[in-house]
């Protein structure tokens, strides 16, 4: 729980940092698969089953004592969507409970029973909402490029050839397709069941594609049209209505959807397993027996139009599977002693489990100790009450071993309730496998190393896997027949692109400057003075009395390294505590700070404890407004060389929190303001924390910060006006009553679908704040202040990868590599930037999408500015994957959302106390 990045470790994105399943926004429940036919929901009900897991991102930095690692594909917990048995709902709505879905594993490929032949009736009245969905598909492309002829290519830098994880489409469909909205009466919610009911009518429909709602074919069907199929469960008719909602030509954007449906149909022929949207290869799974884990490799595939044509993107991903059940976790808690129910709630709530019998995933929202497997529910299909024990024996031939275990509860979300699915789902812990890695597992260095050795795929192995995937498509006769029937074909090799390497940045320190070497200058700073130092006056150190003999030499080491860099560290006031409970720290800090003022509070913890850390931060940052530093005992022990490195980073962090500038980057002298914004989401409290950080000096090395707590857990901030107005006020005071000449915003965590709302909300709020600031300051004598604004969405979680092919085998591109052609998107003003060097795995580029730009600055300046800002994060003497303002915003959002959960003290707004 140390707040110092003494090993250079960043904490990932703000959202979902509590664990694999903690973030509500990273959880999507898939489309409802039927509502439950029970007064008490049975455990096999899949209406709301879905993954609420969070895919942890790779750290943005790694300890200097360890090699930095890149992406090896996303490593995440296990989830699968499988067909389920359905029944009739109490309020009369019908759902499919027979036919193809009667045997869940066969629903996507099994035809209805013999005799259920097609029946056609013309002239029937047909309903449907396909037309509106068709319009939504047409409008889904978000254009951020200023104009079609706008040149977004940079010119500066050394050109270098690269390859990427894309295959060109050398042939694509040239058919005139018709698009039909398909509705089922009674309603059939399961997509696999829908496909099976339609498959029997292939002679009538001709060659077609069906995604569960929309059907595409080349034959014009009579309008209106109804067909009939039979359900095997009750031999009743299901009416299938087809309504023409669009005609698709080769140049139409919706054709992309069609090509992706064709591709996914082909992937289904490779004996891969579909989980959520991606396919995994269980035959190539890797077992880690010492940690009871399995890792499945998989593929993310998408066909999309890029700069010069359509490309097939393929990314290698991984899923991590655990072997323990929810009951195993509960038994461990029981053996540990204490308040069993409270400890189970703390450990289990918010986690994702996977049922063994049908591979569905559910979020645990509660535990019901009044129910157990011997309890009964009403099985409407048979119109009788049945126990969970009997149900599982009869339905799945499973004997539940512990009949007295409490049941897990998965509650419906608001979206589920709006669909009429308002009943909870009850699950038996014994039959639910845990997904994702626990906090203890994430702290297990050996486990994470073993997992990383598999998931961090090196560039040569990644390219080898890409080519193997392509060969599997080419060598499968059924896939080739399918592709040829639609006129679709892909190039045999990955695409080649022209990239550039931006000139290296120059790091400035007191009386010294040097170019960066591969994004790392940790050795250089140990021999140079800081650009701007500060005075550390009175500071106080709290430590357990038993650790005082270890703390003293560590403080002396901090003083020595600080002296060499121009930061004088006096002896602290040391408070030795006889016990190290949370209350001991809180009482000692409050007692000492009530008697005198301190510049810094330094706390040494025996071990990492979240409650103690949170209490210290809440007290120092919110109540007293004093920067604080927390470090654990293991960081002040070790060999001399390692301690020196840790002491140097702790010293730099302390100095930075007090306002020092350890280094600067040589940038043009402008009065621009750069802004970083990020959001932390707390799924447990249903709140979000929006953190805003803005530069207030020309070198982008000093920042103003503000925080807003969003009670409704919004991602798009309703408080941008307040944030910017406070930043403009701070800038006005620091810069002799002048305001920024331009404002450049780097925004993290926004998907393409949110860009229109972002423009209407956040960008509009920025303009309102500028206008109000001009009026209040009577700017330029007329009160008009409308600075040019650039708003850039920064995305780390992307599937694009690049490979340098100069050597004997593929390798990672070097720091400063920019790609703004071929694989960028035609409708965007965007570019990719590789700003970090990694020594393990494949480096992950960062995507920059300039959604609005009134500044008129060239693409070269945008690219070079973004790269320069990756050098200005004072917790790490090296480059980041993202600009420093975003990382600062992330750190602030995480600190407030995870530990403080209230507004920090106003006196800290101009200090990076959140480092």
- Output the CA–CA distances (angstroms, integers) from residue 789 to 404, 704, 763, 857, in the order listed: 63, 18, 9, 11
Residue pointed to by tokens 């992309």: 256
**For the chain, percent helix, then strand, then coil, each to nearest 5?**
30, 25, 45
Tell me which H or E stretch contains 847. Answer: strand 846-853
Q: How far apart are CA 396 and CA 376, in angstroms?
A: 17
- For residue 517, the Cα-to-chain-centroid distance in whole angstroms is 30
Contact 893, 707 (CB under 8 A): yes
Q: Are 63 and 876 in contact (CB under 8 A)?
A: no
Are residues 636 and 604 in contact, defined by beta-carbon separation less than 8 angstroms?
yes
Q: What is d(CA 501, CA 832) in angstroms, rounded to the nearest whole number? A: 12
Phi (first) and psi of residue 191, to 5 degrees: -65, -40
| CB contact at 8 A, 215 and 227 | no
Q: Judge if the upstream peptide bond of residue 224 is cis by omega within 30 degrees of 0.
A: yes
The DSSP bridge partners found for residue 164 are: 802
Q: How far apart are CA 371 and CA 605, in angstroms?
A: 42
Give dist(CA 351, CA 505) in Å, integer. 44
User: Token pair for residue 901?
Assistant: 């959960």
Helix (H) / strand (E) element for 255: namely helix 255-267
Q: How far apart are CA 269 and CA 277, in angstroms?
A: 16
| Cβ atoms of residues 795 and 13 within 8 Å | no
> Distances in Å between the alpha carbon of 185 and those of 96, 231, 234, 236, 576?
10, 12, 15, 11, 75
CA–CA dist 843, 4 (Å, integer)? 25
> Is-contact 838 812, C-beta < 8 A?
yes
Joined together, the tokens standing for residue 511 give 């009386």
Q: Write out 654-699 in H/E/C secondary structure.
A: HHHHCCCECCEECCCCCCEEEEEEEEEEECCCCEEEEEEEEECCCC
- CA-to-CA distance for 58 and 70, rounded, in angstroms? 7
Compute the distance between CA of residue 131 and CA of residue 244 in angstroms, rounded to an integer: 8
| CA atoms of 20 and 884, how far apart (whole Å) | 25
Q: What tokens were used for 814?
A: 């070097």
**Residue keyed to tokens 């002396």:** 556
- Cα three-residue angle 441-679-711, rounded to 5 degrees: 105
Ramachandran angles phi, psi of 470, nearest 5° = -65, -40
Q: What positions carry a catalytic annotation?
A: 678, 715, 748, 890
- C-alpha 708/C-alpha 717 separation (Å) is 9
Strands in 512-515's sheet, in edge-to-edge order, are 512-515, 506-509, 664-665
């Amino acid at each position: 729980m140390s707040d110092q990045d003494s090993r250079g470790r960043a904490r990932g994105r703000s959202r979902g940092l509590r664990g694999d399943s903690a973030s509500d926004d990273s959880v999507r429940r898939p489309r409802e698969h039927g509502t439950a036919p029970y007064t008490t929901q049975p455990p096999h009900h899949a209406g709301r089953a879905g993954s609420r897991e969070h895919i942890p991102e790779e750290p943005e930095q790694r300890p200097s004592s360890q090699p930095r690692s890149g992406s090896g594909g996303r490593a995440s917990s296990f989830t699968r969507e499988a067909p389920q048995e359905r029944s009739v709902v109490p309020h009369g709505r019908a759902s499919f409970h027979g036919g193809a879905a009667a045997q869940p594993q066969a629903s996507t490929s099994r035809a209805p029973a013999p005799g259920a032949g097609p029946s056609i009736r013309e002239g029937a009245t047909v309903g449907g909402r396909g037309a509106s969905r068709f319009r939504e598909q047409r409008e889904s492309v978000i254009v951020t490029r200023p104009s079609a002829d706008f040149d977004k290519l940079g010119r500066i830098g050394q050109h270098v050839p690269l390859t990427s994880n894309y295959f060109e489409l050398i042939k694509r469909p040239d058919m005139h397709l018709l698009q039909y909205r398909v509705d089922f009466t009674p309603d059939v919610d399961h997509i696999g069941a829908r496909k099976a009911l339609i498959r029997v009518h292939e002679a009538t429909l001709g060659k077609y594609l069906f995604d569960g709602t929309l059907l595409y074919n080349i034959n014009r069907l009579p309008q209106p049209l109804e067909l009939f199929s039979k359900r095997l469960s009750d031999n009743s008719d299901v009416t299938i209505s087809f309504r023409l909602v669009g005609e698709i030509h080769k140049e139409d954007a919706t054709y992309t959807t069609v090509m992706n449906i064709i591709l996914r149909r082909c992937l289904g022929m490779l004996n891969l397993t579909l989980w959520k949207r991606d396919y995994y290869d269980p035959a190539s799974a890797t077992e880690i027996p010492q940690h009871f884990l399995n890792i499945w490799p998989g593929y993310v595939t998408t066909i999309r139009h890029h700069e010069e044509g359509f490309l097939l993107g393929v990314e290698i991903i991984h899923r991590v599977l655990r072997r323990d059940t929810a009951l195993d976790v509960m038994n461990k808690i029981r053996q540990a002693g204490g308040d069993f129910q409270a400890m189970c709630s703390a450990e289990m709530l918010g986690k994702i489990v996977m049922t063994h019998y049908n591979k569905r995933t559910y979020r645990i929202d509660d535990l019901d100790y009044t129910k157990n497997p011997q309890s009964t529910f009403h099985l409407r299909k048979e119109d009788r009450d049945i126990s969970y024990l009997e149900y599982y024996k009869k339905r799945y031939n499973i004997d539940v071993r512990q009949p007295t275990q409490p049941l897990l509860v998965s509650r419906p979300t608001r979206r589920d309730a709006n669909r009429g699915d308002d009943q909870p789902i009850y699950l038996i812990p014994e039959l639910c496998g845990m997904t994702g890695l626990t906090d203890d597992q994430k702290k297990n260095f050996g486990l994470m190393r073993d997992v990383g050795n598999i998931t961090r795929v090196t560039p040569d192995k990644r390219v080898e896997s890409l080519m193997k995937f392509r060969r599997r498509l080419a060598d499968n006769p059924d896939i080739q027949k399918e592709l040829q029937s639609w006129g679709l074909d892909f190039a045999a090799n990955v695409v080649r692109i022209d990239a550039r390497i931006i000139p290296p940045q120059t790091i400035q320190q007191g009386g010294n400057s040097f170019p960066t070497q591969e994004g790392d200058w940790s050795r250089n700073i140990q021999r140079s003075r800081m650009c701007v130092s500060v005075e550390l006056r009175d500071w106080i150190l709290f430590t357990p009395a038993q650790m005082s003999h270890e703390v003293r030499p560590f403080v002396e080491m901090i003083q020595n390294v600080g002296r060499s860099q121009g930061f004088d560290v006096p002896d602290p006031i040391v408070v030795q505590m006889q016990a190290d409970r949370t209350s001991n720290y809180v009482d000692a800090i409050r007692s000492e700070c009530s008697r005198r003022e301190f510049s810094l509070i330094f706390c040494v913890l025996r071990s990492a404890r979240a409650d103690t850390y949170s209490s210290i931060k809440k007290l120092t940052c919110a109540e007293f407004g004093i920067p604080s530093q927390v470090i654990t005992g293991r960081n002040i022990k070790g060999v001399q060389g390692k301690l020196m490195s840790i002491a140097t980073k702790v010293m730099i962090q302390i100095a930075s929190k007090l306002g020092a500038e350890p280094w600067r980057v040589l940038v043009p002298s402008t009065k621009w303001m750069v802004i970083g914004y990020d959001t932390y989401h707390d799924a447990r409290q249903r709140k979000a924390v929006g953190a805003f950080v803005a530069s207030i000096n020309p070198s982008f090395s000093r920042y103003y910060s503000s925080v807003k707590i969003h009670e409704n857990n919004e991602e798009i901030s309703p408080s941008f006006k307040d944030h910017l107005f406070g930043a403009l006020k701070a800038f006005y005071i620091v810069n002799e009553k002048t305001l920024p000449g331009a404002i450049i915003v780097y925004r993290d965590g926004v998907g393409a679908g949110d860009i229109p709302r972002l423009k209407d909300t956040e960008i509009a709020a920025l303009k309102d704040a500028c206008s109000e600031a001009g009026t209040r300051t009577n700017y330029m004598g007329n009160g008009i202040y409308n600075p040019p604004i650039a708003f850039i969405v920064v995305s780390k979680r992307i599937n694009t990868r690049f490979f340098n092919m100069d050597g004997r085998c593929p390798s990672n591109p070097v720091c400063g590599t920019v790609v703004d052609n071929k694989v960028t998107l035609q409708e965007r003003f965007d570019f990719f930037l590789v700003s970090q060097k990694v020594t393990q795995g494949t480096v992950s580029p960062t995507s920059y999408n300039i959604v609005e730009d009134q500044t008129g600055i060239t693409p070269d300046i945008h690219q070079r500015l973004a790269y320069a800002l990756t050098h200005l994060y004072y917790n790490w003497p090296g480059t980041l994957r993202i600009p420093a303002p975003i990382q600062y915003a992330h750190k602030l959002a995480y600190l407030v959302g995870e530990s403080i959960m209230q507004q920090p003290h106003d006196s800290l707004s101009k200090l990076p106390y959140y480092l």
